[in-house]
Amino acid sequence: MLIEKEEPDVSYVLTSDYSYDYVDEEGGFDKSSGEVIADAAEKIGTEVKFMKCDTFDPEEIGEKIGEILGGLDPDDEIIINYTAGSATIKIILGTTAVAISRFMENLRIVYAIRYPDGTEKYLDQTEALGKLFTQLNQAV
């Protein structure tokens, strides 16, 4: 879990009520996703803030991201994990990350996941996505 690897001071989690309450019994969990994340955060001393929203509504997602960004300082270290969630959240998080990378130097965009069999993926895609969006902007 990214939160355990990075040990941030504060983690914001965009989630629907359904995802927050979901228990992945097939994955071997007996607690909801929200409880699993909260437990991991507590173990490492990270404050976690769940931002519940309709994860298919771009405007609502944008409002929640705006709330998060409004409380940040340009010198803060930011890690945007766009691994889980709806496609709407993923595209908005990715776009937001590239947009704010222009004025926030301590930003990383990562894809991090741990599968039930223990396999983990941790890909820092900041540079690759930044180059891609720069190329796309130049092409338009």
Residues 6+ apart with CB under 8 A from 52: 15, 16, 17, 20
Average pLDDT over residues 124-134: 84
pLDDT in tens, 115-126: 777 788 899 988
> How many angstroms separate the CA atoms of 137 and 25, rounded?
43
- Phi, psi (rounded to 5 degrees) for 107: -125, 135
pLDDT in tens, 41-65: 999 999 999 999 999 999 999 999 9
Question: Residue 72: what pLDDT?
Answer: 86
> How many angstroms separate the CA atoms of 105 and 86, rounded?
27
Closest CA to 6 of 119, 122, 126, 103: 122
Domain architecture of the chain: domains with CATH: 2-139 (3.40.50)
